[in-house]
Amino acid sequence: MNRRTMVLVAVLVLAAIGPIAGLVSASNVTLTVAVVTAAGDPVSNAGLTATWDGGSRQATTASNGKAFVDVPAGADVTIAVDHPAYVRNSPYEVTDASQEAVTITVYQKSTADLTVVDQDGPVQGVRVVLRKHGSVVTVASTDATGSIKTGVIEAGDYTVNVFKPGYYKQTVPLAVRGDTTKQLQIKQGSVTVQFRVLDTNFDPPKAVEGATISGPDFSSKSGPEGTRAVSLEVNRQYDIQVSKDGYDTVQRTVNVGEQDLQVNLTTRKQPDVQIAVANQRVVVGETVQVTVTDQYDRPLRSATVYLDGAAVGQPDSKGVLRVDIGSSGDHTLYAAADSLKSDQLTVTGVASGDAASTSTATAAQSGDSASKSSGGVSIPGAGQLNLRSAFIGVAIGLVLAGALFLYTRFG
C-alpha cells in the first residue's frame, strides 16, 4: 500500500468515526446540582449518588455547594444526599434528564421518640404514621413500652396519626427539632350498633325474630322487629354471624367507626318440604286430603306424595292431593321433592262397621261431611235416626190422647 492510499484510508476511517463519537458524546447531559439548607445556604462536602436504570455516578459538592454529574440524556435519575449534619427524608427525583440545574434542599438531622399512653399507662400495638407535607415518612407500631423511635429524619413540622382498634383516632402536630420526645394520649370508646335481621324472600324484606347475632365477644337474639342494639368498640372490624333454626347461617364483616351505626343482616329460610293432613282417622274407602308446601307455605307442585312408601301422586296448583285409604290400620304419609323429604305422618283407617271408630272418624272428617251435606247427599244413618224419632213421637201422642179420653169420659 503506497503512502497516498494509506492517507486516503485514514481520512475515510476518521470520517466514519467522527459522527459516532459525536453521538456518544451527545448521549450524556450534565446536571449542575446545588445542595442548600432550608435557609438557602450552600452545603459543601455533600456526597451525591445519582442512579438510573443501568448505571450510577457519584460526586461531592464543592465549597459553593455545587457539583457536576453526567447522566444519560432523557433518563429518570434519583439523587441521594449523604452529609454528617444534613439529611433528606427521600432522594431527589429528576425526570427526563437534560442539560439543567438542580437544587436539592437538605435539613438538619433530627429524631423523634414518641410514647402513646391511655388512662392505664403505655399502650402496645398502636399504629403511628408521621407525615411531612402530606408525604409519609415513618410508619411503625408501639412496643411494650408504648414507644416508637423514628431514626434520623428531617427537622421540620410533621403531623402524627395514631390509631388502634377500640380507641378514638388522633391526629396531632409535631415539631421535630434535634432529638424530640413527645407523649401522645389516646382514649378508648364505643358506639351503639343497631343490627336488624331480615328475610329477603319477601318484598319488602320481613323481620326475623329470635335470630342469634354473634361476634367475637358478644351474642344476642333479635327482637320482634328483628332488631338488637349492641355496644361495640370504635374503629374495629367485627366478623358477625346470624343463625336461626330453619334459616341459612350467614356471616358478614362490619367496620365500626366512631359514629352509631345501623346494619341490616339478611338471611332466608332453608329449603324444606312440609306435609299436613285434614284428619288423622279416615273411614276405609274414603280419601284423606293432603297438603304439601315449601318452607314459606307455598304450594309445592313438584313434590311427590308417598303412602306406605309407595308414590301415589303429586299435588295440584294449590298443593293439595286426595289420597285413598283402602284398608284399616295405621298408614304412613310423607312428601319428597328433589333431595328433601318431609316429616312422616300417620293416618289410621277405620272400618265402617266399627260403630265407635266410625263415629270418631266421621267426626274427624268434618270437612268432607260438611261438603257432602251441603251438596244434598244423605248422611249415612240419618234416615234410621229420623224413623226412630217418628215412632217415638207417635207413641207419645197415643198415650196423651188416651189419657185425655179417660179424663173426659169419666171425669
Tell me how far the alpha carbon of residue 335 is from its chain's centroid: 36
Residue 402 has a pLDDT of 56
Is the separation of the CB atoms in 300 and 334 below 8 Å? no
CA dist 356 to 22, 59, 177, 212, Å? 124, 117, 105, 50
Q: Which residue type does 302 have?
A: S
For residue 93 the three cell numbers come to 427525583
**Nearest Cα residue to 267 out of 201, 220, 214, 221:** 201
**Rounded distance, CA 334 to CA 345, Å?**
6
Beta strand 100-105 with 28-36 is: parallel
**Rounded distance, CA 310 to CA 74, Å?**
86
Q: What values do phi and psi take at 351, rounded to 5?
A: -65, 140
Tens place of pLDDT per residue across the chain (411 aa): 544 444 343 434 444 444 444 444 459 999 999 999 999 999 999 999 999 999 999 999 999 999 999 999 999 999 999 999 999 999 999 999 998 999 999 999 999 999 999 999 999 999 999 999 999 999 999 999 999 999 999 999 999 999 999 999 999 999 999 999 999 999 999 999 999 999 999 999 999 999 999 999 899 999 999 999 999 999 999 999 999 999 999 999 999 999 999 999 999 999 999 999 999 999 999 999 999 999 999 999 999 999 999 999 999 999 999 999 999 999 999 999 999 999 999 999 999 876 454 444 444 444 443 333 333 333 344 344 344 444 455 455 554 555 555 444 544
Q: What values do phi and psi take at 185, rounded to 5?
A: -105, 130
Residue 400 has a pLDDT of 53
What does 192-227 look like in DSSP terms, one character per residue? Answer: EEEEEEEETTSSSPEE-TT-EEEETTEEEE--TTSE
Residue 401 has a pLDDT of 54
Tell me how far the alpha carbon of residue 130 is from its chain's centroid: 32
Q: Which domains does the chain have, with CATH numbers?
A: 27-105 (2.60.40.1120), 109-185 (2.60.40.10), 191-267 (2.60.40.1120), 274-374 (2.60.40.10)
For residue 231 the three cell numbers come to 355496644
Cell 415518612, located at residue: 137
**Rounded distance, CA 155 to CA 105, Å?**
12
